[in-house]
Amino acid sequence: MDQIFDLFGDPVPANWGERGRPEHIPTQQNRNRVSMLVALGWSNKRIAAALFITVPTLRKHYFSELKFRDVARDRLEAGVAMKLWEGVQAGNVSAIRAFRAFVDHNDLMLYGHAARPAGTAKPATQPKVPKLGKKEAAAIAAKNPDRSSTLGELIARRQGGSLPN
């Protein structure tokens, strides 16, 4: 008997259209999706919402994927490493670059460093000086008139400044 699929590519249960809600049918694609989301650290509630199922249904059908929560991240990293290594073996230059970055990142994790090794850190920057707004700049300019013009010289005299010799 041929399997019938719905618009989303999921198999249609045998009791579709009959009384009661049809049971969820786990697919290999959904199993892979659950494994990936567990590896990314998603909660069961969030994974269930992404699959449009309830948490008890998630635990019922995907218990084998959920029980490897402790090692799921390592399994995901191992899969990525294998794909990168296949690209390296094929001679793909971008895969070689990505693999080198992957190895460097792995070495940092291996030796317990959270940041880059010394010598590769960004140089310290000078503290930022706050920029003056239009009104502040205008107030400072009004207190220091340009003495090279006649008008500026008069304004300076009125503010109490002495005349240049």
| Residue ranges per structural domain of the chain | 1-70, 72-110, 131-160
Of 66, 73, 61, the closest CA to residue 23 belongs to: 61
Rounded distance between C-alpha atoms, residue 35 and residue 143, angstroms: 69
Please write down the long-range contacts of 24-31, taking CB distance under 8 Å and 24 or more positions apart: 24/53, 24/57, 24/61, 26/61, 26/62, 30/62, 31/62, 31/65
Give the Cα separation of 146 and 155 in Å (integer): 9
Q: Is the pLDDT of residue 164 over 60?
A: no
| pLDDT score, position 98 | 92
pLDDT of residue 74: 87
8-state DSSP, 14: T
Q: The tokens of 109 are what?
A: 């994790």
pTM of the complete model beyond 0.85:
no
Higher pLDDT, 144 or 42: 42
- Mean of all residue pLDDT scores within the chain: 82
d(CA 138, CA 100): 55
Lowest mean pLDDT among 37-51, 70-84, 106-120, 139-153: 106-120
| Arch. (CATH architecture) of 1-70 | Orthogonal Bundle (1.10)
The answer, yes or no, to whether residue 16 has pLDDT greater than 60, is yes
Would the pLDDT of 165 be above 60? no
Q: In whole angstroms, what is the distance from residue 66 CA to residue 79 CA? A: 18
